[in-house]
Structure 1
Amino acid sequence: MQALAGFMLSETQILEIAGRFQKAMTDGLAGKSSTLKMLPSFLTKLPTGQEKGVYLAVDFGGTNVRVLTVELQGNRAYRTLQRRSFPLRDREKGYDFTTPETAGSDLFQFIAGQMETILVPGQTYPLGFTFSFPSRQTGVNRAALIKWTKEIQTSGVEGRDVAELLQKALAVRNLTRVMPRVVINDTVGTLLTAAYGDRHADIGSICGTGHNTCYLEPSSPITGQTMIINMESGNFNELPATAYDLELDRQSQLPGEQCLEKMAGGQYIGELTRIIIQDFINKKLLFAPGRSEIFFIPYQIKAEDLARLLDDKSPDLADVSHWLKTTCQIPSSRLEERITLRNIATAVITRSIQLIAATYTGVLKHIDPGLKHRHTIAIDGSLYELMPGYADKLNSILKNIFKDKPGFVTTKLTKDGSGVGAAIAAAIVEEQTGRTSNIAILKS
């Protein structure tokens, strides 16, 4: 279908994108102009898998926050001891810590109060803090929020060091046995969680509502040594955009930014599909002579709808027909129209996979130019986990690109890695700084 031709990337195109991505990495590391931010984490190594101890973790990446205690058992094993998830706003309970009317100090004191509910009296906890918002990190435990995203507008936090705000909240509640050690983002947590159990893991990525990737840089420009780098790769923009992509970008909140995420991320692929379907309806290629309003309302089509279109294996696409009747209010459709819908969804999802594979290829060639070592890419997120065929297709593309190096790269689902990863990060920092571990404190 000619209208979808721009979504079908050849292996040559994938490799060209990988090359541009690799150059953007190099430029970003050198301080040159780049759409990759290449943010240092100040974590200079991956876990050995032998770290031990009980650690407290906070996972703050949206309007729901998790607190957990994790026991690292060594021998690449760990277990979650306590875990609690709570919303930052609850109408029934009458609170909302995400509005401009709420002070940042109140938000962090609320989080500290939730942490207190899972602590064992008398026990000391090094703390790892996953904070997945755009931040300027200047040290392993120093990260200033640049700008709130994800519907949060709490006042008095932007421009402030979130580790310091949390430390003050702990002091107000007299939680002196909680010792903040490190701030990371969710990609770093995903990588650390996988690396604790897999010595080949050196890339961490989120493929869900949003998209981002981090990796272990062999030679950080700050230290000349290894360091985990958060690329903020969703902002990469040297990509072959179609007219549909440009339309989505024009209508978005931040035109010209987060281009890769808009072409590949779960928040946008439903909207991109809707824009294509709307164009097909206007051109009388679908549902003539009538039209469904749902395809003319922005963001009414979700990634979950695409999953439904792709998952229907029946000869007459009966589930697609049911979806059209119940969700889209289209009482009848022809098989050809249902096939067209599935073809559109397939094109959008396949290109998402190809673009992500291209960026991974760029990272792999950067960290291992001679292709001499094995690599595991740790991935968390709903697209990779739940979208039909996504993980298999991604692995297939990477396998084909590196066909001369069997076993060179594998991908691995690393669920909820951002929470456990914060605990592992705290353990690494404890070891790096030579502080007495909580194991020793507990035994004393």
Structure 2
Amino acid sequence: MQPFKAAMLSVREAFYAAFLRSLLRTKSLLQTILNIWIGPRKLAKEPDAHSEGSSTQDGVEVLSQTKRREVADFVEEVARLFRDPTSRQNLVALSDGLKTQFEESLVDNAQCMLPSYQHQLPTGDECGTYLALDVGGSTFRVALIELAGRGSESKVVRRSTIKIDATIKNLQGAAFFDWMAERIEDTISGQSEGHELNSAPLPMGLAWSFPIEQTSLRSGLVLGMGKNFMAAHGLIGQDLGDLIQNACSRKNLNVSLQAIVNDSSACLLASAFTSHTPPTRLSLILGTGCNAAVHLPVSSFSPQKFGIRPSSWHSAATHVIVNTELSMFGGHLLPFTRWDRQLLVKHPRPDFQPLEYFVGGGYLGEIVRLVLIEAIETTGIFGGIVPAGLEEPYSLDTEIVSRIEADTTANLTPSLTLFTNLYPTSYVYTHLDLSTLRHLASHVIHRATAMIATGLYTLYLLRASTSSSIPAKMQIAYNGSVMEQYPGFQELAQHHLELLVGSKGVLTLVPADDSSLLGAAVAVACLDPDEVIKDL
């Protein structure tokens, strides 16, 4: 009877620990009862001839070897669901479906495959001083850039990075653009000797990370900005270029806005300027969200996709940089798991950006969180109870997951410390807990790298099918926190590209540092002089 009494004592200890934890988490009485009678029974097994036994730690039972095998079974299932769709056969089938969606959007889609007004690519000979602006979701960057041609080193003469906090986001209408003009004035005033502005207006380019209906290279109608910005209030349909230019004029700034590009186009331009061989004809932005730009023949599009443009533009343009809005593709094609569907159930726009939900930094952590919660509830890791705070949607940030995946120490002490600080509990997290989390995350990330590589590969095929000639090798410029900072992401994406192409060196992912600022400057620098006069 002694073993039975010991087991009952273990159950009782687990009972009290679970009860206290449940009360501390302010759960309902019903949930408390469920946690008491279901959780500990699941964790505390009565020893038998086939069990290696278990011990208790702070009243919570440590996993036995039998339980570890159950964890392994769950991880194996996750691996199968996330990795099986990344075989070459499955990725080629996905690519075929994406290519059909791309081709249809070249004909008729008001949201995707949007031809910009930027049809010139840099020659590499561009020189001069330009003011570059980059308006993003959390920062406003201003830089005075001296381009010295591809063979020489271009310089950032002055640079300012200003955080856009809630106060700035709440500025309505012209007040936001006046704030921009003030920051521009701060940057270009008091320049160091040798960089004084002459009497000619300083040419200015803008990388704008929000939707606009572009009407010329330096003009576009303001649309809703999102991300809690109030700047568009009362200005919907007004010209963005005029709003910025007028705000600068009110500050007596001797500047002239000549080009507006989105961040993906800026990335392509920046890389095309700095490197000629192999050429850059594709670019990727992959951070919180994702997008891509591609250089396509004008003849690829139906006439209505260009809207109303002057005949001079059509006469000059043979190719055009295209804002693909890549995030919006993939609906009904992507390999959804039950965790993806859980994410979409609570998403306000579940069909809006299918691919982004698979690859964007705003969602990767959430998918990992959903997988982890099921692992906790079904295998008993993390003490069998979801830590306080982790049950909240989007409470596991992709950056945190990346730091845990980057932890290669034998005992995972940095990860254990990080997780304990983020989700404190009486339960002491173990090496098994964090190593399981790392394995689960690796499978989610593996799929993401395959999906984004397939999207890029399909854009490459689209360009090949619409162009009379295509380079034997091509660079794909990239920018964004996921591509740049998530451990191993770029290398895995490159692996999948080579798997799809069938050889190395055909498509190469290359970083494009400071691409928004440099690309905005290059967009102005490579303009035909006649076009500059018409746009001013």
1:377 and 2:476 matched: yes
Q: Deviation of residue 191 (structure 1)? A: 0.9
Deviates more, 1:133-142 or 1:349-358: 133-142
* Counterpart Cα distance in 1 of 2:150 and 2:415: 48
Q: Deviation of residue 204 (structure 1)? A: 1.4
| Stretches of structure 1 lacking an aligned partner (at least 5 in a row) | 91-95, 437-444
Q: 1:352-403 CA distances to partner (integer Å, 9 max, x unpaired)? A: 1111000000011111248652111110011111111111111121122223
What is residue 202 of structure 2 aligned with on the other side? 125
1:268 and 2:325 matched: no
1:88 and 2:186 matched: no
Give me the identity figure in percent.
26
Match of 2:510, SS?
strand
1:108 and 2:177 matched: yes
Preserved contact between residue 40 and residue 137 of structure 1 (Cα < 8 Å) = no
1:193 and 2:270 matched: yes
Q: 1:188-225 CA distances to partner (integer Å, 9 max, x unpaired)? A: 11111111011211111111111100010123534472
What is residue 218 of structure 1 aligned with on the other side? 297
Residue from 112, 115, 127 that aligns with 1:37? 112
* Counterpart Cα distance in 2 of 1:285 and 1:368: 51
Q: Which amino acid aligns with 1:179?
A: S
| Stretches of structure 2 lacking an aligned partner (at least 5 in a row) | 1-75, 189-195, 307-313
* Counterpart Cα distance in 2 of 1:40 and 1:289: 52
Q: Which amino acid aligns with 2:259?
A: V
1:244–1:54 distance in 2 versus 1, CA, 3 Å: same
Q: Deviation of residue 317 (structure 1)? A: 3.1
Preserved contact between residue 95 and residue 458 of structure 2 (Cα < 8 Å) = yes
* Counterpart Cα distance in 2 of 1:256 and 1:316: 42
1:277 and 2:372 matched: yes
Number of residue pairs the alignment of both structures matches: 426
Match of 1:283, SS?
helix
Residue from 309, 319, 323 that aligns with 1:230? 323
Q: 1:253-298 CA distances to partner (integer Å, 9 max, x unpaired)? A: 3222112111111111111111111122222442244331232011
Q: 1:142-184 CA distances to partner (integer Å, 9 max, x unpaired)? A: 2223221223123223333211211221222222x31111111
Match of 1:429, SS?
coil
Which has the larger helix fraction?
2
What is residue 320 of structure 1 aligned with on the other side? 415
Match of 1:296, SS?
coil
* Counterpart Cα distance in 1 of 2:211 and 2:455: 20
1:417 and 2:515 matched: yes
What is residue 12 of structure 2 aligned with on the other side? none
1:315–1:398 distance in 2 versus 1, CA, 3 Å: same
1:390 and 2:489 matched: yes
1:3–1:216 distance in 2 versus 1, CA, 3 Å: same
Q: Deviation of residue 319 (structure 1)? A: 3.0
1:283–1:157 distance in 2 versus 1, CA, 3 Å: farther
What is residue 144 of structure 2 aligned with on the other side? 69
1:172 and 2:250 matched: yes
What is residue 238 of structure 2 aligned with on the other side? 160
* Counterpart Cα distance in 1 of 2:160 and 2:385: 49
Preserved contact between residue 214 and residue 229 of structure 1 (Cα < 8 Å) = yes
CA RMSD of superposed structures (Å): 2.3
Give the TM-score taking structure 1 as reference length.
Answer: 0.90
1:81–1:32 distance in 2 versus 1, CA, 3 Å: closer
Q: Tell me which structure has the larger Cα radius of gyration.
A: 2
Q: Which amino acid aligns with 1:396?
A: H
Q: 1:122-142 CA distances to partner (integer Å, 9 max, x unpaired)? A: 353111111111222122112
Preserved contact between residue 377 and residue 385 of structure 2 (Cα < 8 Å) = no
Q: Which amino acid aligns with 2:326?
A: S
What is residue 241 of structure 1 aligned with on the other side? 336
Match of 1:329, SS?
coil
1:260–1:170 distance in 2 versus 1, CA, 3 Å: same
* Counterpart Cα distance in 2 of 1:71 and 1:297: 47
1:253–1:88 distance in 2 versus 1, CA, 3 Å: same
* Counterpart Cα distance in 2 of 1:143 and 1:38: 17
What is residue 440 of structure 1 aligned with on the other side? none
Residue from 489, 493, 498 that aligns with 1:399? 498
1:57 and 2:132 matched: yes
Q: Deviation of residue 334 (structure 1)? A: 4.3
Q: Deviation of residue 50 (structure 1)? A: 0.5
Q: Deviation of residue 314 (structure 1)? A: 2.9
Deviates more, 1:277-286 or 1:331-340: 331-340
Q: 1:287-325 CA distances to partner (integer Å, 9 max, x unpaired)? A: 244331232011111112111221122334333333333
What is residue 353 of structure 1 aligned with on the other side? 449
* Counterpart Cα distance in 1 of 2:533 and 2:339: 54
